[in-house]
Amino acid sequence: MRSAALVVCAALLAFPSTLLGQADPDAQVAVKEGGMAWAAAWNAGNAAGIAALYSDDATLLPPGGIELQGRAAIEAFWQSQIDAAPGVTVKLETKELHNLGEVAVEVGSYANTGPDGEHVGHGKYLVVWMLKDGTWQMARDIWNSSMGQ
């Protein structure tokens, strides 16, 4: 399994960026709307709304934590994060989006603001979106802070 992942990564790195090009308009719209829905759900304290954006078999790769699989585990994780940071809001920004047919890779940044308006965190993320049953869903999600230790 690990060697297969390495082969896929090597193949993606071997493609010239001009071949990847821009995502098709449907993927661009879906990822933008998905990001807005994710942020809106977080800002409303709605972990179920966040989890609904992930595929049934999605994998969440949180920094410093264990890999989580499936919507139920993802919802529980996000609920714990919402509970630990009451009133913290998030803003997401897509920096790159590459469409590979039924898979799209999003690279972006996030910024967190505390309830008093103070900047409390920022970082970057990578999401692999997959087109399943006609809907773009988050399949893999990984992020990390840019604030240092």
Low-confidence ranges of the chain (pLDDT < 50): 1-23
How far is CA 21 from each of CA 18, 99, 108, rounded to the nearest angstrom? 5, 7, 17
CATH class, 21-144 region? alpha beta
> What does the pLDDT read at residue 148?
78
What span, in angstroms and rounded, lies between the C-alpha atoms of 131 and 68?
A: 21
Return the half-sphere exposure (C-beta side, CA atoms, 13 A cut-off) of residue 73: 14
Task: List, in order, residues 6 or more apart from 61 with CB less than 8 Å away.
Answer: 67, 140, 141, 142
- Determine the 3-state secondary structure of 52 from DSSP: coil
pLDDT at residue 135, as a whole number: 94
Residue boundaries of the structural domains of the chain: 21-144
pLDDT of 24:
66
